[in-house]
Amino acid sequence: MKAIWRVWTISTVSLSLLSLAHASPWESLSEPNRSSSESIGGYANGCLLGAEPLPLNGQGYQVLRSQNKRYYAHPDTIAFVTELGKKASNDLRTHLLIGDMSLPQGGRFSSGHSSHQTGLDIDIWFRLADTKLSLNSLRLPKPQSLVDMSAYKLSNKNWDRRHFQLVKMTAQDQQVARIFVHPVIKEKLCRSEGGDRDWLRKVRPWWGHNYHMHVRLNCPLDDASCVNQAPPPPGDGCGKEVASWHPKHNVKSLRPAQKPSEQVKPKVVKSTPKAKKVLPQQCQQIVRNLN
Ligand SMILES: [Zn+2]
């Protein structure tokens, strides 16, 4: 009986591991499709036609964890990262470490964040690689947090003036819609800027972005099915707005009591079920062809 139980348990565990490995059908697509390039749908509910791979090693940047195949993007994004790498190399004398972008045909990752689906999101690590990383370090990179998480304070030993320059020059690019950083980093950027405050509007506080910034680009102009996010609220988002993220505002939890205006969701009446996201038709077609 015990032996049967063990076999049953082992096979159930391996089955569930298998299904975990394919938790998202998008992970099984190893190449971009041959259509012309187009971002379809929203950042967290879409896909990507005719993606391009970011070359793994370019001027001023390197791709992390390429084994995950998350280095594909819309060609506009590829051009953006390539240019940003050149600026990092020329102006900051360093190399950027590029984390997740999108899968070969976009869509949902099996783990991690729910956006990055349309080839327009890029994670860029705050760890500045003044000398390029070895292949082994690229496969299993060590993150460097700019925030002392237990004290909810900036990590002065890891903060570098170039972090300010990097976020500022990225935010000032017309293609950039938003940049997500940890609220403590946003506070530091707010304190470090003098009169030129427009770019700060695009830098939005969000949990989890202590060792990387998440850069989100606007929809490419010709991509009619691509859905932009509403623009950030007016103002630089400093002062009270970023302070409202401080855990002291809500002692019971680490989340802010009052979320900043752009996060507040309309109250849902209990009897109405939450509207299910419907994947755009063109993306559904890709998934259907897998079966
Ligand atoms: Zn991200």
Measured in Å, residue 112 CA sits from the centre of ligand 1 at: 9
Measured in Å, residue 122 CA sits from the centre of ligand 1 at: 6
**CA dist list (Å): 47 to 39, 54, 102, 173, 179:** 6, 17, 9, 24, 21
- pLDDT greater than 80 at residue 270: no
Measured in Å, residue 125 CA sits from the centre of ligand 1 at: 10
Q: What size, in residues, is the chain?
A: 291
Measured in Å, residue 100 CA sits from the centre of ligand 1 at: 6
Measured in Å, residue 212 CA sits from the centre of ligand 1 at: 8
- What gap in Å lies between CA 209 and CA 146, rounded to an integer? 9
Mean pLDDT in residue range 67-81: 97
Tell which residue, 279, 216, 284, 287, has the closest CA to residue 74.
Answer: 216
Measured in Å, residue 71 CA sits from the centre of ligand 1 at: 12
CATH of the domain at 182: 3.30.1380.10
The continuous run of DSSP H or E covering 17 comes out as helix 2-21
What is the DSSP secondary structure assignment for residue 159, as one 8-state letter? -
Is position 114 within any domain?
A: yes
**CA dist list (Å): 4 to 12, 16, 23, 52:** 12, 18, 28, 49
Tell which residue, 67, 65, 66, 101, has the closest CA to residue 82.
Answer: 101
- Environment of ion ligand 1 (residues, CB < 5 A): 123, 214
pLDDT, tens digit, 9 for 90 and up, residues 137-154: 999 999 999 999 999 999
Give the number of other CB atoms < 10 A from CB of residue 212.
Answer: 25
Mean pLDDT in residue range 210-216: 98
Sign of CA dihedral 185, 188, 192, 193: positive
Measured in Å, residue 123 CA sits from the centre of ligand 1 at: 5
pLDDT, tens digit, 9 for 90 and up, residues 120-133: 999 999 999 999 99
Mean pLDDT in residue range 35-54: 97
Give the number of other CB atoms < 10 A from CB of residue 123.
Answer: 21
Is position 15 within any domain?
A: no
Residue 277: what pLDDT?
86
- pLDDT greater than 60 at residue 21: no
Is position 94 within any domain?
A: yes
What domain range is 61 assigned to? 32-246
Domain count across the chain = 1
Is position 115 within any domain?
A: yes
Is position 285 within any domain?
A: no
Measured in Å, residue 217 CA sits from the centre of ligand 1 at: 12
pTM: 0.85
- pLDDT greater than 50 at residue 5: no
Which of the four pLDDT bands, split at 50, 70 and 90, describes residue 12?
Answer: very low
